[in-house]
Structure formats: structure tokens, C-alpha cells
Amino acid sequence: MDIGFIGLGIMGGPMARNLVEGGHALFVHDAAQLPVAIIEAGATACVSGREVAERGEIVITMVPDTPDVEAALFGPEGVAEGLSPGQLVIDMSSISPTATQRFAARIGALGCDYLDAPVSGGPPKAEDGTLTIMVGGAEDALARARPLLELMGATITLIGTRNGDGQVAKVANQIIVGLTVEAVAEALVFTAKAGADPAKVRAALLGGAAASRVLENQGGRMIARDFAPGFRAELQQKDLNVALSAARELGVVLPATAAAEQIYNAVRARGAEKDDHISVLKVLEDLAGG
């Protein structure tokens, strides 16, 4: 198929490459400079989202935040200006569920289908095509998209047939991930201040009820003090803010999420928002006196 792809960042780049390697023609655009690797792989650069939509029968967006999706779809020279009836738009970004419903309605008014299909797994799983993909939208649209999604993900779940349901699942995922990263950081700071070996404590905990993928992966990176961005702290904070905003609309109280968001806000205040979200460790260390 001819596929349009907008957003070639740390996640979108490898996801797009997997589509090219799967045999599809790819037409790409990014607000920043396009990665050389994706062009070398055979993708065609486009000057705008409109051109991407004009050349791709299915258009995928993978950008950082709700306003970025809105700009990509409906801004000047955006995707909506190049769509024709019958095309499919798949947003794989992590954004507001309610905004997703509005975007889907506007795309639907153009005679096109819309899926929200946010992902989990981080850059390593984007690279090897084993992401978890959470989908909201019509079953027939998912059937059309599935061959593409299978090149990018190992687990594809239709959360519900309403647009926005995929984003609801992703918000839930990010609440758990954000709070667990912060909890692991607290546990390791406590361990160090108490005089025990954090590496040995982590190894012991991995054999018990506290075991988790976050303790294994992010906990290991905390001990190694590897703060290079895999998932940036500013994006983790953004996702927690999406959760809190949705909670206000629903009348739901998320006290632990609110507290964790403030710790990630402290990472931003340190000027470390581009570092990995495990940088909450540094904030907690400072609060503990080093």
C-alpha cells in the first residue's frame, strides 16, 4: 500500500522503517528534519501533511502531544486538506481521549475513517516491531489497518469501537508507568540512604511481589545512572497531565497521579525535561539531601 507517515521521532522513525521493510511505499513528513535513515530506506519526503494525504491511501500520525496532532491534521497544509473520501487516518500518538473524539468526528465528516492506536513499549520495541497497540474505532477500519499494525506491534487489542477508547487505555498505561517509575525511584533512594546496596535490593525484589518490568528495566537504568532519553520526562509529565485533565472532565479523583505529576514537574524545573523519565531519581535524591 501507499502509506503516509507524519512524525519521525524516536518512536515514529523505527515504526516507519518497519513499514518500508514490510514492502509498503512510504510518504513521510516531519516538523523537524527527516532522519536520513528513513529516506535511505526508501521513503519519499513530502513538504506537508497535505501532500502526505494526497499520496498515501492510509495516513499515520505519531507526534508528541494533542496540539501537535491537531496541527498535523487540521493546520494549514495539513492532512485534512489532502484527504479524499474513503481514506483512513490512524493516530498512534498519546493524546487526550476527548480531543481524539473531536478529531475523529472532523475526519469522519470528510468521508474518511479514523482509528486511535497509541502504543506502549518504548524505542526497543519500536525498533523490533513488537509494540503493544491499543485501538479505538470501527472493526472494519481495524481490519483494513491490521496488516500495517502487525508490522509495528506484537499485541494489537481493539479496546472498543468508539474513537478515544484506545487513548483511554494508553492513559491508564501511563498512569501505571509514571507512578511505578516514581515508586521505584523512591525505593532505591530509601535503600541507598539506609546504607544497603540498591543493586542487591533490586535483585531481591525482582524475585518477589514487587517485581515488574519497570523495576527490571528502569530500575536497572537508575542504578547504572543512565539518564539518556528513551522516554523523555517531559512526555511522561504530559501524559500524566492528560490523565488529570480527563479525570477532571469525568469527576474522577487521581491523587497519586497528581502527586507524581509534580515530581515530574520538578524534573522540568531542573532543566532535565529532555532526559529520560527516570530522572525523577535525581529529584528524590536532592530532596533526601543527596
pLDDT tens profile 239-265: 999 999 999 999 999 999 999 999 999
- Would you say the pTM of this structure is higher than 0.95? no
**What's domain 168-287's superfamily in CATH?**
N-(1-d-carboxylethyl)-l-norvaline Dehydrogenase; domain 2 (1.10.1040.10)
Q: Where are the domains of the chain?
A: 2-162, 168-287
CATH architecture of 2-162: 3-Layer(aba) Sandwich (3.40)
Q: Which pLDDT value is given to residue 153?
A: 97
pLDDT in tens, 35-78: 888 999 899 999 999 999 999 999 999 999 999 999 999 999 99
Query: Which residues are known catalytic residues?
Result: 170
Mean pLDDT of the chain: 96
Helix, strand, coil tally for the chain in percent (to 5):
55, 15, 30
> What count of Cα atoms within 13 Å lies in the side-chain half-sphere of residue 188?
30
Residue 142 to residue 124: CA distance in whole angstroms: 24
Q: Which pLDDT value is given to residue 31?
A: 87
